Structure 1
Amino acid sequence: MTIQLKEAPNSLKSLAGRDFLTLENFKKEEILSLLDLAEQLKAKRKAGEEEHTLKGKTLGMIFEKASTRTRVSFEAGIYQLGGNGIFLSTKDLQIGRGEPIADTAKVLSGYLDGIMIRTYSQEMVEELAANASIPVINGLTDLYHPCQVLADLLTIKEQKGALNGINITYIGDGNNMANSLMIGAGLMGMNLTVCAPVGYAPSEAIVTKAKQHASISGGKIIFETLPNEAVRNADVVYTDVWASMGQEEEQKQRIEAFQHYQVTAELFALAKPDATFMHCLPAHRGEEVESAVIDGEQSVVFEQAENRLHAQKALMTELMG
């Protein structure tokens, strides 16, 4: 039986040509439409059916930061959609030798149908998008990781059957993952508890934005310093590495600061009996999480990683189609 893709409601047919720099670029209804399309594309792939909605399209993938999931999921995704992906290291591009971002954006706009960039500076991504005439997708910056959270929302929807009212507890550093989770939870009406040591809380400016979204959607953004309290009544327990890429010099200091914030089997048992464990990977077993948890029956980290492919295929289809 061939699976036919369902069309989005007429009110949502407005994503073509738009940028995806943060989840705030899209409304709740648009994100739900993307997740619905991701589920359909995933079902078609599982059924062995091809879907070449981006035949003849080319995605340029700019990498300043090393990557496993981002590169492979975008490169495989554009190929599966009938298009082509070009890997572009900043070491090979002229921006690595001082060419203005604006010039690079205008040049690439004449060659490509979309740009994905994984870099350090959010400002660099925004400048690229401001000067490009084609869609720009934020594959990761030090401030945001919206593609990961799009896949996370897909995973939670699959696991729990809904997003609205779901309780998530994030334990760890107030980094780009925490920032994007707050925005995503706020938009989708979820209840997110962020548990971080003093001095490692998320950006106050992003906290304010997330709470504004939550006040509209009916969700909550809560902060807790005690992990035991944070995980109670959680449907999902989420963590990330204690030292992100570029923070290697802080590793020893961070291990000391986060030593009581490890997701142990004992801590995880305080969440709901059917709680799901999530981690955006790569993981450091024995630091932020015990092997018994991440490799346990309630962990969905590899399903979560696979969903990067399906969520990003939906994103590329809508933006570049």
Structure 2
Amino acid sequence: MTKDILTLLELSKEEMDNLFQRAIELKRRHKQGIRENSLSGKTLGLLFDKASTRTRISFEAAMVQMGGVPTFISAKDTQIARNEPIKDTARVMSRYLDALVIRTYSQSTAEDFAKWSSIPIINGLTDLHHPCQVLSDIMTVIECKGGYQGLNVAWVGDGNNVAHAWINAASVLGFNLTLACPEGYQPGEEIVQNAKCKVQSAGGGVIRLTADPVEAVKAADVINTDVWASMGQESEAEARKKIFAPYQVNAELMAKAHQDVIVMHCLPAHREEEITDEVMEGSHSVVWNQAENKLHLHKALLEMLILR
């Protein structure tokens, strides 16, 4: 079993399936009022460089609901901000904590923490990957569709960190994934090629890129989108609005998909940009269940890693 979750490639299909099953069980038990204590006496650190609503709160609540204690650490308030080496900070935090969630800019920062830590390091978002988000997204797909095998998943918009995590998930789990992104804003070529090679060797689904959102959604069971300008790209926001305008998830695009398609957005959403208010509040939207499921998937993930 892996020590860290830096990308979804650290997990096998069996491990992911076990996570989904446990998360769904924990959600059911939570709704029944059953209290958990498997992480009693354990402490989770959250070391964040970037703003967060859902990731921070869901990890903190997850740890509390499993009987443990979370502690939030703003990176700017630590000695890291005064150039203490990661290898020093990581080894010290390993003496205090049982696991650490990192939300930062560079993927290499998370990798360095994993290298020097003796405790599990969990990627809570970097500019390159957002693995935990997609785990809870797939849990939502399973709840809505009864599984993921044979499904057609569409990604419409920027080929960003969440798109990268969906690509990795498809390469491990074998569902079909089509990503519609404008030229120049497609996912990382190395990530795509590695995923395609993994799919071919495993005999799984198909991963395709297109510039046409209609082509991506025409057979879709699931439609995903995200903001057009991620954190750190605010200066590009106005230019991106023009480039991405044809990629808006709206009623016209939805009409091209299956009648029972579900629509997902990892939030926060810029309504009337990447998704219309009509679609986000409509009958196909599962964004609120999707957001809730971060809590339950994180409980299963923390339990798996801390008690490994």
**Range of TM-score over shorter length:** over 0.9
Assess if the C-alpha contact under 8 Å between 1:235 and 1:272 holds in 2.
Answer: yes
Question: What's the offset of the Cα at 1:288?
Answer: 0.3
Of 44, 56, 71, the residue aligned with 1:86 is 71
**C-alpha offsets along residues 136-181 of structure 1, whole Å, 9 cap, x if unaligned?**
0000000000000000110011111011111011000010011000
Partner of 1:250: 236
Unaligned runs of 5+ in 2: none
| Aligned mates of 2:239, 2:199 — CA distance in 1 | 33
After superposition, residues 271-282 of structure 1 pair within 5 angstroms as 271-282=257-268
Q: Deviations over 1:250-270 (max 9, x none)?
A: 011101110111011110111
- Whether 1:234 and 2:220 are equivalent positions in the alignment is yes
**1:213, CA displacement in angstroms?**
2.6
Cα offset, 1:109, TM superposition: 0.4
- Give the letter for the 2:173 counterpart: M
User: CA–CA distance in 2 between the matches of 1:213 and 1:30?
Assistant: 17
Asked if 2 retains the 8 angstrom alpha-carbon contact of 1:183 and 1:213, the reply is no
CA distance in 2, matches of 1:40, 1:259: 40
Find the counterpart in structure 1 of residue 146 from structure 2.
161
Q: Does 1:50 align with 2:35?
A: yes
Give TM-score scaled by structure 2 length: 0.98
Residue 146 of structure 1 aligns with which residue? 131
1:217 Cα deviation from its structure 2 partner: 4.6
User: Which residue number corresponds to residue 268 of structure 1?
Assistant: 254
Q: Displacement, 1:212?
A: 2.1
Q: 1:208 offset after TM fit, Å?
A: 1.1
Is the Cα–Cα contact under 8 Å of residues 263 and 293 in structure 1 kept in the other structure? yes
What is the CA–CA distance in structure 2 between the aligned matches of 1:127 and 1:313, rounded to whole Å? 25
Per-residue CA distance 1:167-214 (angstroms, 9 max, x = gap): 011000010011000111121111000000010000001001211232
Q: Which residue of 1 aligns with 2:286?
A: 300
CA distance in 2, matches of 1:110, 1:154: 33
Q: How does 1:44-123 map to 2 (within 5 A)?
A: 44-123=29-108
The whole-number CA distance in structure 2 between the counterparts of 1:107 and 1:28 is 33
1:168 and 1:192 in contact (8 A); partners too: yes
**How far does residue 225 in structure 1 lie from its aligned partner after superposition?**
0.9
Aligned-residue CA RMSD in angstroms? 0.8
Deviations 1:98-142 (A, max 9, x none): 100110000000011010000001000000010000010000000
Post-superposition Cα deviations, 1:209-264, rounded to whole Å, max 9, x if no partner, equal: 21123221511101111111211010001100000000000011101110111011
Number of corresponding residues: 306
Q: Once superposed, which parts of structure 1, at least 4 consecutive aligned residues long, lie more than 4 Å away?
A: none
Aligned residue type for 2:51: A
Q: Give the distance between the partners of 1:213 and 1:46, measured in 2 at CA.
A: 38
Q: Which runs of 5+ in 1 are unaligned?
A: 1-13
What SS does structure 2 have at the residue aligned with 1:91? Answer: helix
Matched residues in 2 for 1:132 and 1:229: separation?
Answer: 44
| Residue pair 1:188, 1:217 contacting (<8 A) in 2 also | no
